[in-house]
Homo-oligomer: A and B are copies of this chain.
Amino acid sequence: MSIEEKQKPQRNDRVTIRTVATHAGVSVAAVSKVMRNAYGVSDALRARVTDAIETLAYRPSRAARGLRGRSFTIGVLLIDIRNPFLPEVIAGVNGVLAPSHYQAMIGVSDARVQLETSLIESMIDYKMDGLILVAPRLPSEILATFAVQIPIVAVGYHDASATAFDTVNADDQRGAEIAVEALLACGYRDIEMLSLGERQGHAVSVVRQREIGFRRAMQRGGLGSSPTISKIPIASPKREEVMRRFLSRKDRPRAVFCWSDLDAITLLSLAMEMGVRVPEDLAVIGYDNSSTAALGLVNLASIDQSGRELGQVATRALISRIEGRTASEHIFQIPSLVSRNSLTRFGNSTDR
């Protein structure tokens, strides 16, 4: 006896392309032609078939489609679903896809390379039409092998030399520069970056790019050739502990640039608890301009990189690639500063 024993009570007679064909009194091929609006269909035939489709409420099986042709599905891979920046990207993707006949299916890899690989493989095995990978961890060579099998657009993945797939990025180096420039403009000289302590941090990741931008801007501002970059672990318990230690350091810098709002907001919160005044004692600037940062309660200055727009652009690129483009594209968006109270006390006296 196998474990896989299953009963099938519901002999749910599905409406297939054959049902439609019979009902309309035409061949299966004819129906298929109408569905794909292929060449060689008279108006009369089309009308008849369309009618039958309507009355039978026929939907082509995606599984069967995938087996033979295209499935009209695009796969989206997210590293993480907790970071509020990622949902923004999804919103952008869905926005562009909504009026089309494409649909998005999302996989979440939780930053595990193993799972990331298997999800990408699954999406290929489903014969999806294309993939949008948001901040993937896999090295470029691996992505290239996948890209042979399926059109791929990588978002938040800095590899402008990739020829097999497209990339869509905000200019993270520039974003970090803008942050530093803003801090400099406020007169701060003693600046540190709080970055992400990744294990396999590869150069293509947005975090590393921001570090590069940070270093360059600091140098350009004449603040030494190797400014301090502290790493915050992503795991929860140690994370707060490290931040607390940072805040109570007696050589704590006057201003800090965080790689993400996620960290910046936690930092703000801990600062308040520990009696470190922001921005009087410590100026903070984040990255992503998440909706939480915009709250009056939080009031965190941040670098805006419109995830929604990134999602839109990536989707359009993917569709154009699905439709035949083969030369790779590497698109850049320019981020911008959103100044708020965590940077410097402004004119409007919202009492915090």
Binding site for B on A (CB under 8 A): 1-7, 9-10, 12, 36-39, 59-64, 66-67, 70-71, 73, 81-82, 84, 87, 90-91, 94, 98, 103-108, 110, 115, 118-119, 121-122, 125-127, 148-149, 265-266, 268-270, 272-273, 275, 291-292, 295-298, 324, 326, 350-352
Contacts and interface: CB of A to CB of B under 8 A. Distances in A.
A87 B91 contact: no
Contact of A67 (B61, B148, B295, B352): B61
Nearest to A87: B81
B273 A36 contact: no
Given A94-B110, A108-B106, A270-B296, A9 B326 contact: yes
Contacts of A94: 108, 110
A149 B296 CA distance: 48
A98 B115 contact: yes
Contacts of A39: 1-2
Nearest to A275: B351
A4 B36 contact: yes
Contacts of A103: 107, 118-119, 122
A133 to B, nearest CB: 15
A246 to B, nearest CB: 16
Contacts of A60: 125
A84 B2 CA distance: 42
Contact of A91 (B63, B81, B324): B81
Nearest to A326: B9
Given A10-B148, A12-B149, A2 B67 contact: no
A352 B272 contact: yes
A82 to B, nearest CB: 6
A108 B115 contact: no
Contacts of A126: 62-63, 66, 73, 126
Contacts of A110: 91, 94
B107 A6 contact: no
A108 B90 CA distance: 9
Contacts of A119: 103
A90 B64 CA distance: 28
Contacts of A7: 324
A29 to B, nearest CB: 14
Contact of A63 (B2, B63, B98): B63
A199 B121 CA distance: 40
Contacts of A265: 292, 295, 297
Given A67-B61, A326-B9, A107 B107 contact: no
Contacts of A10: 148-149
Given A39-B2, A81-B90, A87-B81, A297 B324 contact: no
Nearest to A82: B87
25 contacts: A2-B38, A4-B38, A10-B149, A12-B148, A61-B67, A62-B122, A62-B126, A63-B127, A66-B66, A73-B122, A73-B126, A81-B81, A81-B90, A84-B84, A87-B87, A90-B108, A94-B110, A103-B119, A126-B126, A265-B297, A266-B295, A269-B298, A272-B351, A272-B352, A275-B351
Contacts of A4: 36-38
Contacts of A66: 62-63, 66, 126
Contacts of A266: 295
B104 A59 contact: no
